[in-house]
Amino acid sequence: MDTFEIQRKVFTRAAVLLLLSVLLLIAIIPGIFLDTSPHSLPKQAAFGTLVVMLIHLLIFLGFLYGIRFTKRRRKINKEIYIVSGVVLFLLGFVIMDGSFSFLDQVLYVSIGIFLCVVCDFGAALVLVSALFLLRKKKKHQVNE
């Protein structure tokens, strides 16, 4: 199996993690409206969750388009995947705050957001580490 096929499989797995993150965000939206604390703003929290879900979907669609488009060229644009990995990492830190804010009232929303953060960190780690590991593998193949 050549390096291109390995990279494509890794990026497909990262896209699956993003899709799982989107599904988790869809599952927690009804629970956001169950928060009855005195200073809660469920409409604004649901809107923020929808914005985060839209960002995840855009990155997911970009992955799918990139994976499909790179089949023809047999070349993967590594910079885009590194930038998307860093964006997912930062987005995970941003939505982690939401995980802690629902901890007292609606526990499954907090757990769902935390699992979404774990999926984001996992996808970012898979993307960035795969690019660096495959680059080292390619250098070893050239040296041999």
pLDDT at 136: 61
Position 40 in a domain:
no
Position 42 in a domain:
no
Position 51 in a domain:
no
Position 8 in a domain:
yes
pLDDT at 70: 62
Q: What is the DSSP letter of 77?
A: -
Domain count, the chain: 1
- Contact indicator for 108, 62 with CB cutoff of 8 Å: no
Position 46 in a domain:
no
Does the pLDDT of residue 140 top 60, yes or no?
no
Higher pLDDT: 135 or 49? It is 49
**Model pTM score:** 0.80
Residue 128 domain boundaries:
3-28+56-143
pLDDT at 115: 92
| Tens of pLDDT, residues 52-78 | 999 999 988 887 777 776 666 666 667
